[in-house]
Amino acid sequence: MSTGPHSDRENGSLPLPVRLYPASYRRANGAEAAATYADVTEGAGLAVRAAEAAGLTGHALRMRAGLTSDRTFPRVAALAAPIVVAVSAGLSAAQLFRVADSEPPGTLDGLGRLAGLPTGWAWGTGLLMLAVLLAAVSGRWTLAKVLGCSAAVAILAVRVIWFSAHMAEMLVSMLTAIVLDVGLPQVLWAVLLVAAPKDLLDDSPRTRATLPAVAVGTYAVATIGWREGPLSWLPLFAALVAVALAFNHRDRLFPAAVALAVLPLLLITYTSELSSGLILAGVTYDLATLVSGIPLLGAAVAIVLMNRRGRRGSTAPSTG
């Protein structure tokens, strides 16, 4: 095992995406990974080089986080990823292409806010989410992951920056509250996309053909559910039905995958309403924020626990 200055020089000669791998992996496979990377990118265009770098980077970060194919959570994420793509695209379409009497949560037309963001940013990030669907349908999962993560990070950053600029003081509870319904739900989608190993993703023609149908169904559920009245419970009802039906799937992890994939839709739809209702009922602002964050906190705990299950030895799945 080489250590010290000699090892540092060897690592310095590796491409940056390869240097992101854990040291043990670099020692065992670094030279081979670097050679493969060089072969693929030599003389290639910018798009190919960027895609290969993104794939290697994602794989390296998954290995550092223990998100390998033998762990439970990456297997759940691989099952959830196609659903994430379809549901997030359907939600974005419902936010951008509104129907009569349907108002996306966080929308204040008079203040130039759409779905909790400045209108221009809402359109930009929403179109990115729709592009994620197109990339997945065409089988380009690395691109889908890059676009999905970019959209999620942009939504979170714009949400925080916009509110910070309009508030004299930003307390921790206030910061938490403003990202519970816009920002963190999209980050959960991004986590599911990134954690899904490419070798476990279902990229069959049947799955690809199903994605637009699920997106259209999500669009219908959201646009109907974002109206006042009894139908406002439709997104919750649809999510519960989807999870219940998932128990008929041959993979026992599929219900968990469906639950994680649809949870952001419910958070975006109901968190603000729940917080407001609690405050009107006399609950303090901090406690209302804490209660509203329980579903997301529960999802985070479940992810950590699931990722601790599985063989301790790591595998080396394909990048992407």
- The verdict on residue 312 lying in a domain is no
Q: Does 120 lie in the same domain as 49?
A: no
Indicate whether 77 and 113 sit together in one domain.
yes
- Separation CA 67–CA 74 (nearest Å): 6
Please, which residues bridge with residue 117 across strands?
114
Torsion angle (degrees, nearest 10) of CA 40, 129, 69, 251: -140
* Contact present, 153 and 159 (Cβ < 8 Å): no
**Looking at residue 4, what is its pLDDT?**
46
Q: Are 268 and 91 in contact (CB under 8 A)?
A: yes
Cα 102 off chain centre by: 25
Residues 108, 43 share a domain: no
How far apart are the C-alpha atoms of 295 and 148, rounded to whole Å? 22
In a domain, 318, yes or no: no
CB neighbours of residue 274 within 10 Å? 18
Q: What is the pTM of this model?
A: 0.82
Phi (first) and psi of residue 310, to 5 degrees: 125, 175
Q: Is residue 188 part of a domain?
A: yes
149 and 84 within one domain: yes
Q: Are residues 188 and 54 in the same domain?
A: no
Residue 190: closest CA among 47, 55, 88? 88
Contact between 191 and 263 (Cβ < 8 Å)? no
Question: Which pLDDT belongs to residue 169?
Answer: 66
Separation between Cα atoms, residue 189 and residue 176, nearest integer Å:
18
Residue 30 belongs to a domain: yes
CB-based contacts of 192: which residues, under 8 Å, 6+ apart? 77, 80, 81, 84, 260, 261
Note whether 54 and 146 are within 8 A (CB): yes
pLDDT tens sequence for the chain (320 residues): 444 444 444 555 778 888 888 888 788 888 888 888 888 888 777 777 777 787 778 778 777 777 777 889 999 999 999 999 999 999 999 999 998 888 999 998 888 999 999 999 999 999 999 999 999 999 999 899 999 999 999 999 999 888 877 666 666 778 888 899 999 999 999 999 999 988 899 989 999 999 999 999 999 999 999 998 899 999 999 999 999 999 999 999 999 999 999 999 999 999 999 999 999 999 998 899 999 999 999 999 999 999 887 644 444 444 44
Residues 103 and 251 in one domain: yes
Residues facing residue 114 across a β-bridge: 117
Query: Could you please report the per-residue DSSP string of 77-133?
Result: HHHHHHHHHHHHHHHHHHHHS--TT---TT-BGGGTEETTEEHHHHHHHHHHHHHHH
Assess whether 83 and 172 both reside in one domain: yes
Whether residue 193 sits in one domain with residue 49? no
Residue 246 lies in a domain: yes
Q: What is the Cα–Cα distance from 222 to 234, expressed in whole angstroms?
A: 8
Does residue 2 lie within any of the structural domains?
A: no
Domain count within the chain: 2
In a domain, 315, yes or no: no
Do both 161 and 283 map to the same domain? Answer: yes
How many H-runs (helices) and E-runs (strands) does the chain carry?
14, 2
Q: Which of 64, 84, 99 is the last residue of a domain?
A: 64
pLDDT of residue 268: 96
- Contact indicator for 214, 86 with CB cutoff of 8 Å: yes
Q: Is 100 a member of any domain? A: yes
Say if residue 14 is in the same domain as residue 91. no
Domain that holds residue 172: 72-307
Q: What's the CA gap between 130 and 209, in Å, rounded?
A: 15
Question: Do both 19 and 152 map to the same domain?
Answer: no
d(CA 117, CA 133): 21
Residues 44 and 142 in one domain: no
